[in-house]
Structure 1
Amino acid sequence: MTRSAYKAAIYTVNESWPVPQPNCSEVKCNWFSYSSLGMCASIRNVTDQLNITTIWTHPSSDDPSVNITVYNVTLPKNLGYLRWKDADDSIQLNMTTPRKDPYGIVTDQGSPLENRWTSLGDWNNTDILHATVAQSFFIYSNTNPDRSRRFRAIEILYHFCVYSYESEFINGTSTTKTLSSTVQIDQMNFPGYKYGQNYTSFQMKDADGNAAFNVTVTYAHSLLALSLGFSGAYTLGDFTGGSGVYGENLGRKFFNDMSRSSSDADVDEKTWRNVQKLTSNVADGMTALDLHDSSMRNGDDHEMVNGTAYKEETFVRVRWEWLSFLVVQIALTIIFLAAVMIQTAILDMDIVKSSNTAELFALQGQGMERVPTLNRENSLGERFQYKGIKTRVHGASEGRLIRDPGFGWKLHID
């Protein structure tokens, strides 16, 4: 999860970590209101608790007529500080994580989660501190010459929470909506049940009040190193040292879209917006890993999320009016054919299928009688006999034999 947080920290303030989308082998799938354990980021403005003290004042080495004063900007209980010189015209930032001693991670492992953190923020939900795994303070400055109005401080908490989602997959496109995020601890377990250690674990409820997620020290302690990657000093325009690669990256993005000429109000608005986006990305990166871990969805007893799949089926709709018309058409066709057959039988007519009337009376083949040659090309003459339907021709009718090259002779009756 810590690696996911570092990866998310590389994102710019204009990017957001996508929510993992479900897969569906059918044309449509729905997953209604399911829950998953995740990480949330909560921030508070603690500027009113800053304390500004003068460390020393002495003439500048460049210009002895100018005195340089070094200030120390701190939070109560040594929770954070910023060392600043009034000769600096740059905007500065220090990201600090409070430690009780240099080996904070080791000693924190023996501390109950419920009293591990010292917070300055006004949190409406006390369960947030119990579910917190990392704490940071951002102390930064603007360019106001009045030192009483120059410095700001923000407290950041990364803590466990329970998200409620609703997912849908239609025609190859999936969408997931985040319905809510809840921080509600059902009960604190002390000592922890795992390995008989004197550690605290707790159960979290979802939005419906169901206790479904048990958080143990295995998860909490694995994230203690998270704060180390996001600590350090950063100065806009000049790198002052002391920060790691992630601290410097966050510092650059923290002051995104600002300059030394930015007004106090502009700095306040943009830094607050930027820190919200940055911390949300870090939390979303860890949450995305949680969603891929089946044991963190709907609790340990309900690893899989049930949904509804819709298969594609083809239906043919028949309108009764068109079906009735088709039945009438078929019935009339049958009646017509029956009438033709009856009339043909009454008239004693021979029927030749697929033949034209003129061809029924044509002379084809060889017969017993000798018929004189009808043109010069055929000097041998041919024998013909009548084939086809035997019938009588009215005496007033006239017939003509016409030769069709390649098809023989045909009889035309006028």
Structure 2
Amino acid sequence: MVSSMGLGVAQQQLLSYPNRSIVLPNSTSTVTRANRFDTYQNVTSSGTTTPEISFSLLSSIYNAALSGPAGSISTVNQPFFTCTSGNCTFPPFATLAVCSECFDVSDDVQSSCDANSLCSANFEGLKAQSWQQPDNNNINTILNQTYLPLENSTMLKGGVAGRSSPFSTLAYLQAKSETGNWPPTYHGTECALFWCVKTVNAKVSKGVYSEKVISTDTDITIESNGERRFSLANGTEVTSFVITPLAQESIQGSGGVTQHLSGWAKGSGYNRVFSSDLMQGFSTQANVTEVMSRVATAMTNRLRDFDGTTPPVNGTTLGKESFIRVRWAWLAFPVALWIFSLIFLLTVVVMSREGETKWGMRAWGANSLALMFHGLDEDARSRIREGEWEEMEDLSERLWVKLEKGSEGLKLRARRVEG
């Protein structure tokens, strides 16, 4: 009886009703990829038409540079995708991409300060100046960045970028000086942007798109006509990724990425001035490497949207379904209780059958005569022998009893015996 109090708990824990993901066969999920880049704008000046970087691609660069805290990328920089349920998975796929590589070369920065608290730094032809006002407000060239010839950089030449014909190489000189921190700290960084092919795993979870890079291929071939090409083998199938000559010129030429990423930012405790909005974005973020990585990601996702000739990747659309889960371990308690109860019942039956011969006891079952006769007076009980229920049954048909109150309290007393 005590153990049976746990049956309710066991029954509640036996069944649960969780949700699981199922494939929705009639739903659509896609994400863009690029096998070809051939997007640019033609700009005519002084009778000459020159391909320049497209407005859409340039906007993605601005968005990445001005997107706020390090590591955050606006959803504008995500590739186009469809996922009707908000939860989708995609098979691994390869796409044309932009990669970045940066090196910290602060040890190459030459800096000095004179007796008048005027400090200056030089790095790869870049200059930064800093000085203090009497009220401790520092005036600095916060950031200076410009084109860096690849042959001038040992680190970029020896890195992945040097083997991948980068379309943009830049040198950065940063000065960091806040009130109470003098002289300023100068940092030098060298970065490159170059073409690559990325193999990625993508998914959409609760409406949020994310992807993980599995591998990166940087083995590019430049054809005689200026076309740049990657060839990626998957078993017996070879996929080509192409950058056309005019599109390459728009990225690398006079109106390309390097021109827009070059400039300066100056400031003091009073105000700041910038050569462009992009320089404002760069100067407000401490880590140039992270900004360049965001720029590369933004360009990658945007050029994936440009390529209308490459079909998107089809994914699997997932939905939620409720089901019944049986936790069989919780069934052990009621089953064990049932088995022990059965054993107890059988034991009582067996021992009751042996009771008359072994202990002089008989099984009365549901018959209440024994209880009734036990409450009678001595005279009535003396008319039967102990344990003889046949005599008790016979006497009960001839015996009249009455419930009377006496010195011992309420008691059944025999009043008449017939026959």
Match in the other structure for 1:39: 98
Matches within 5 A, 1:172-211: 173=207, 175-180=209-214, 182-189=216-223, 191-192=224-225, 200-205=226-231
CA offsets 1:154-179 (integer angstroms, 9 cap, x no match) = 11222222222223457x74644222
Partner of 1:75: 123
Instruction: Give the AA of the match of 1:93.
Output: I
Contact 1:98/1:136 (CA < 8 Å) preserved in 2?
yes
1:10 maps to which of 52, 58, 66? 66
Aligned to 2:144: 95
Contact kept? 1:23, 1:169, Cα under 8 Å: no
After TM superposition, the structure 1 = structure 2 runs for residues 6-155 of structure 1, keeping only pairs within 5 Å, are: 6-14=62-70, 15-18=72-75, 19-20=78-79, 22-24=81-83, 30-52=89-111, 67=116, 69=118, 71=120, 73-76=121-124, 78=125, 80-85=126-131, 89-90=138-139, 92-98=141-147, 118-122=152-156, 125-128=159-162, 130-143=164-177, 145=182, 150-155=185-190
Letter in 1 for 2:105: V
| Kept after mapping to 2: 8 A contact 1:44/1:154 | yes
Deviation at 1:81, TM superposition (A): 2.5
Distance 1:277 1:309 in 2: 32
Q: Percent identity?
A: 14
Q: Deviations over 1:190-228 (max 9, x none)?
A: x32xxxxxxx43223559696621223323322243233
Deviation at 1:35, TM superposition (A): 1.3
Does the residue aligned with 1:41 lie in a helix, a strand or coil? strand
Q: Give yes or no for contact 1:162–1:183 (8 Å, CA) kept in 2.
A: yes
Q: Any residues of structure 2 matched to 1:237-256 within 5 Å, and which?
A: 237-239=269-271, 241=273, 243-251=275-283, 253-254=284-285
Retained in 2: the 8 A contact 1:183–1:205? no
Query: How far has the Cα of 1:183 moved from its partner?
Result: 4.4
2:193 maps to 158
Compute the TM-score of the two structures, normalised by the length of structure 2.
Answer: 0.49
* Change in 2 beyond 3 A, CA 1:276/1:98: closer
Deviation at 1:12, TM superposition (A): 0.3
Gaps of 5+ in 1: 58-65, 101-115, 193-199, 255-270, 315-414
Structure 1 residue matching 2:169: 3-state secondary structure: strand
Which of 167, 175, 199 is the aligned partner of 2:202?
Answer: 167
Q: What are the residue-to-residue correspondences of 1:392-407 with 2, within 5 Å?
A: none
- Alpha carbon RMSD of aligned pairs, Å? 4.0
| Closer/same/farther in 2, CA of residues 120 and 232 from structure 1, 3 Å limit | farther
Instruction: Name 2:250's counterpart in structure 1.
Output: 222
**C-alpha distance in 2 between matches for 1:29 and 1:246:** 35
Q: For residue 238 of structure 1, report the CA deviation from its aligned partner.
A: 4.5
2 CA distance for matches of 1:201 and 1:216?
Answer: 5
C-alpha contact (below 8 Å) 2:201/2:213 kept by paired residues: yes
* Cα distance in 2 between the residues matched to 1:83 and 1:27: 52
Tell me the distance in 2 between the aligned counterparts of 1:51 and 1:137: 14
C-alpha separation between the residues in 2 aligned to 1:207 and 1:45? 35
1:121 is paired with a residue of what secondary structure? helix
Residues 138 and 269, structure 2, Cα contact 8 Å, conserved in 1: no
In 2, Cα distance between the equivalents of 1:311 and 1:69? 63
Distance in 2 between the 1:28 and 1:235 partners? 46
| Whole-angstrom CA distance in 1 between matches of 2:297 and 2:148 | 26
> After superposition, where does 1:260-275 map in structure 2 within 5 Å?
271-272=286-287, 275=288
Per the alignment, residue 380 of structure 1 pairs with: none
Match of 1:287 among 300, 308, 318: 300
Separation (CA, whole Å) in 1 of partners of 2:296 and 2:318: 36
Q: CA deviation at 1:117?
A: 6.0
Indicate the SS of the match to 2:79: coil
Letter of the aligned partner of 1:234 in structure 2?
A: K
Given the superposition, is the C-alpha separation of residues 236 and 123 from structure 1 closer, same or farther in structure 2, using an over 3 Å criterion?
Answer: farther
C-alpha distance after superposition, 1:358-408 (max 9, x if no partner) = xxxxxxxxxxxxxxxxxxxxxxxxxxxxxxxxxxxxxxxxxxxxxxxxxxx
Q: TM-score, normalised to structure 1's length?
A: 0.50
| Structure of greater relative contact order (alpha carbons < 8 Å, 6+ residues apart) | 2
- The residue type equivalent to 1:20 in the other structure is P
2:249 maps to amino acid = H
- Alpha-carbon contact 1:10-1:249 (below 8 Å) kept: yes
State the Cα deviation string for residues 11-66 of structure 1 (Å, max 9, x = none).
Answer: 10253234325214689754211111122222110112223478xx7xxxxxxxx7
SS in structure 2 at match of 1:11:
coil
Given that residues 83 and 204 in structure 2 are in contact (C-alpha distance below 8 angstroms), is that contact kept between their aligned partners in structure 1? Answer: yes
CA distance in 2, matches of 1:208, 1:13: 38
